[in-house]
Structure formats: structure tokens, C-alpha cells
Structure 1
Amino acid sequence: MSKRLDCPMEGCHASIEGETEEEIMAQAEAHAASAHPDLTLDEETAASIRSKIVDA
């Protein structure tokens, strides 16, 4: 079953889809680096983002 993550940053409408949580997190990291360069992806932020992944 595929999974989806809608970017949690206010005003960003990006949506990421993938087959695994790891795939989505890798795409989310790349998205954050390009679209939200001021965001620090520490353990707490990564856990928060991971909690927003849903079954598509």
C-alpha cells in the first residue's frame, strides 16, 4: 500500500508519495533542502514529519 505525506509547512502544498516510510522520508529531506532551506531536520522534526505519513 502506498503512503503519502503532505508538507506540514504552512503555505506549502507539496505532497510526497511512496511505498515505504523510508522512501517518503528521503523525498521529504530532499524537498526540505530545496524548498525550506532554513528548516533543521533534527530528530524531533523528523519524528513529527514521520507522524504525518498516512496510507494513500
Structure 2
Amino acid sequence: MKDKIMAIVKVIFFIFCMFLVIYGQKTVGRFELFMQLAGLGGLLFLLWNYNRKFV
């Protein structure tokens, strides 16, 4: 049960990070750049979280 909940949370977090990157790319400004960077950081965190069990 806990694994399913964590998978759902990760999918929602992934969608949110993708939204930040895509929305930040469509507009121009410093705030939008930081939105993109936050989205990229979130995606890198998800990638790190996935790969750490294989190291």
C-alpha cells in the first residue's frame, strides 16, 4: 500500500515539475526562469531517487 501511494506522489510531482518547466519556457522573465530551474531540480531529484537503489 505504501509503495502505491509513493508511486502516485512521484507521478504527481513529476507532472508538477513538467508544468513548471513548460510554463516557464513559454513566458519571459526572471521569475519564470526560476520556475524552470525549480522544475529541473525536481526532475533531477526524481531521477536521483530512482537511481539510488541501483548504486
Which structure shows the bigger proportion of residues in strand conformation? 1
Instruction: Tell me the TM-score normalised to structure 1 length.
Output: 0.38
Instruction: Tell me the TM-score normalised to structure 2 length.
Output: 0.38
When Rg is computed on C-alpha atoms for both structures, the one with the higher figure is: 2
Bigger relative contact order (CA 8 A; separation at least 6): 1
